[in-house]
Structure formats: structure tokens, C-alpha cells
Amino acid sequence: MIPFNKPYLTGREFTYIQEAVQAAQLAGNGRFTRRCQEWLERRLGVKRVLLTQSCTAALEMAALLADVQPGDEVIMPSFTFVSTANAFVLRGARPVFVDIRPDTLNLDERLIEAAITPRTRAIVPVHYAGIACNMEPILDIARRHDLLVIEDAAQALGSTWHARPLGTFGHMAVLSFHETKNVISGEGGALILNDDRFIERAEILWEKGTNRTRFFRGEISKYTWVDLGSSYLPSEMTAAFLLAQLEHADAITDGRRALWRTYDRQCAALPFVRRPVVPEGCTPNAHLFYVLLPREADRAEALATLNARGINAVFHYVPLHSAPAGQRFGRAATSMDVTDDCSSRLIRLPLWMGMSSDMPVTVVSALQDVLAALPR
């Protein structure tokens, strides 16, 4: 059996959780939370990072900070996880879907400008598979139209674009530490604040609408309710687990890159299968490995056969513009031909730290058998 995902443990998680428990400080915004935030701030070279309970929570904070109002529009790909859209729908805003590029499966920056209306407030590029969006044109369009850029870097911790970490380009960015990502805490995420003007309000939203973070820093003598907010911060036990993972982030990324390269080499020999395209200037974090099969009709059978052989391959995403809630809350601003085509032919292969180096070879050889047996 080769499972699709298996959470990797570095060995320090329990030590740090024990430390948190012994320190008898279990709520959020404590020592481990600060150490994780400082690790991320140093690594990314950014001013402020706030840990959250999930990337979904970080996206909801970003939507609040962007101050989107009912009827406002937010440009994003349809080929993404639902939270990218839901965070804005919760504020009454409308996701406006733009098609993806056929090479990276990322937002097609050439189609963005035509989708802008007087109600557009933000662009949300998603770095799919940890592979970078073409950020310069996106930032340029945003500047010219006075729009915010919120990077969905859920899959992208450890990836760079022209040597700069993903998550440092937009006004804000979000990360995920969900069990299926590279660096994990079960559920978990972070909000990256690259624009100083959002920092103070972000700290308030994070702490239930109070100025408790400033109180903790000794800047004010008591804390009180000053704005909207919710409880977005994770507990210290989650942060303790995460710190162990962050301290191993480089080893985890290197390990995944070695497996990714084996997949890439093995798949290069398969006729008709399209491998991930890494644009010049991008160093990805090997978050996931996918292939595009020749035809939509091949996929169900390919997945069934692989699973019958003990290889747990999966597919994603059901494009948001075609989902019931996507049709109710969103709008496609362009043709969705590339999104529909690629999402119908894509399969994800198992990739996790701790996988033996011969497993990708086994998986691809099974895939080769499956493809050879399909009618042409």
C-alpha cells in the first residue's frame, strides 16, 4: 500500500508540547506562538506574521483587513481550494473567476485586466503546487488599478520566485500547516503582513477585537474591545508542534524535492503524460506532483486501477465556477476552457516525506501499465 499522504514527524513535537504543558501556558499568543512567528518573519524577511488556526482563518482575516463590502469583487482562479473564495463570500463579496495558464495552472495574468470592474477590490493569486504565479505583471496591474494583492501561498512555504520567498510579494499572504501540506500542525496557518498599514488592525482582529497584543507588549495599561474580531489564534500546543516542524523545514523540503525529481524523471519516459511546468525563476518546494492524462475519459479508470493496486492517487479541484456554491456566489469573467480541461485530466500522485525513494518508481510503473491498457 502506498497512501496518498502520511504526516511526517520530526521527533521534537512531543518535547515541545511537553514544554508548553509544563510552562502551564496553553492558550494562544504565548512563547511557542512567538517563536514560530519570529521563525517565519526571519525566514521570509517580513515585518509581521500571525499564526492562525488554519489558512482558511488567515484568509478570513485578510478579507476583513481588505475591508471588502457586499457587492465588491475579488479576482481569483476557479482552480483552487474553496477557502480562497469562501473567505470573501463571508463578507458578502463576489469571487470573480479568471482562467488559468495551461503551463503552471496558475491565474493567467494576461486575462486579469479585462476582468476588472469599478467594484474590484483585490486580486488573489494562488501559487498552485508551490509553483510561483508570474508576480510582476500581477503587482503592476494591482498598482495601476489601486487593488490589493493577497497571495494564497497555502502550498508555497519554501518556494521562491527570482530568489524571493513566495508570500512576500502581495500586501498580505496566507500559509497553511494543514496535515497535507509540507510543514504541518494538523490544522494551522499564518497571515503574512507585508504592508505596515494592516499590522495593528490584524493584531486586533486576531485577539477577538481587543488590543490585548499591545497590552502584552506593555504599550497600554489595560485592554478593551476596540474593533471587529474573532478568535483566530491557535493554542500553544499547536504552536509547539509547529515549531518542531519549522525547525526541520529545510530538511522536509529537500526530502520532498528528491522524491519530486524522481517522479519527474520517471514520468518523462511516459508517452502522452504532461508533467508540472516550473517557470524560469521559480524554485518550488515540491509540495505536490501531478500529471495531466491525455483524455478526461481516462481518469476514472486510471484512478480505480491505481487504487486497486494499492496506490492511493487522487484528483482535484472541482473548479469553483462549476460548483453549486460557486455558481451562487461567484461569476466567471473569462472562458474557463483551460480550468475545465486541466482539472478534468489531472491526477495527484502520493508524495510525502518519509516515502522511500523506490516508491515513486513503483507508482509511475503502475501508471505506465494503466495507460498502456487504456483504449486509444
Ligand X SMILES: *Cc1c(COP(=O)(O)O)cnc(C)c1O
Does residue 83 touch ligand X according to CB under 6 A? yes
Q: Which of 2, 51, 55, 282 binds ligand X (CB under 6 A)?
A: 55
Does residue 189 touch ligand X according to CB under 6 A? yes
- The alpha carbon of 49 is separated from its chain's Cα centroid by a whole number of angstroms, namely 16
The site string for ligand X over 311-340 (x = CB under 6 A, - otherwise) reads: ------------------------------
Question: Which residue is associated with the grid cell 508533467?
Answer: 275
Least distance in angstroms from the C-beta of 321 to ligand X:
16
Instruction: Spell out the long-range contacts of 290-296 with Cβ–Cβ below 8 A and sequence spacing 24 or more.
Output: 290/129, 290/346, 290/347, 290/348, 290/349, 291/267, 291/346, 291/347, 291/349, 291/367, 292/342, 292/345, 292/346, 293/345, 293/346, 293/347, 293/371, 294/345, 295/345, 296/341, 296/344, 296/345
The residues in 135-164 that bind ligand X, with binding defined as CB under 6 A, are: 152, 154-155
> Is the CB of 126 or the CB of 351 nearer to ligand X?
126
Tell me if residue 149 falls in helix, strand or coil: strand
Beta pairing class for 331-332 and 94-98 = parallel
Does residue 182 touch ligand X according to CB under 6 A? no
> Is the CB of 212 or the CB of 348 nearer to ligand X?
348
> Is the CB of 130 or the CB of 211 nearer to ligand X?
130
Size of the site for ligand X (CB under 6 A): 14
Q: Which of 94, 101, 178, 256 binds ligand X (CB under 6 A)?
A: 178
> Is the CB of 56 or the CB of 285 nearer to ligand X?
56
Does residue 80 touch ligand X according to CB under 6 A? yes
Does residue 56 touch ligand X according to CB under 6 A? yes
The residues in 115-134 that bind ligand X, with binding defined as CB under 6 A, are: 126
Question: Residue 120: in which H helix or E strand, if any?
Answer: strand 120-123
Considering only 53-61, 194-202, 265-273, 274-282, which stretch makes contact with ligand X by CB under 6 A? Answer: 53-61
Least distance in angstroms from the C-beta of 53 to ligand X:
8
Least distance in angstroms from the C-beta of 95 to ligand X:
13
- Set of cell numbers at residue 296: 478526461
3-state secondary structure 297-343: HHHHHHHHHHHHCCECCECCCCCHHHCHHHHHHCEECCCCHHHHHHH
> Is the CB of 93 or the CB of 367 nearer to ligand X?
93
CA-wise closest residue to 256 among 180, 202, 364: 180
Does residue 348 touch ligand X according to CB under 6 A? no
Considering only 28-36, 78-86, 102-110, 254-262, which stretch makes contact with ligand X by CB under 6 A? Answer: 78-86
CA dihedral 84, 85, 89, 94 (to 10 degrees): 130
Report CA Rg, the chain: 21
How far CA 95 is from CA of 122, 154, 215, 306, 316, in Å, comes to 10, 18, 37, 35, 19
Considering only 49-57, 224-232, 292-300, 323-331, which stretch makes contact with ligand X by CB under 6 A? Answer: 49-57
> Is the CB of 95 or the CB of 189 nearer to ligand X?
189
Does residue 73 touch ligand X according to CB under 6 A? no
How far CA 201 is from CA of 64, 251, 304, 329, 333, in Å, comes to 10, 35, 49, 27, 32
Least distance in angstroms from the C-beta of 22 to ligand X:
28
Q: List residues binding ligand X (CB under 6 A).
A: 54-56, 80-81, 83-84, 126, 152, 154-155, 176, 178, 189
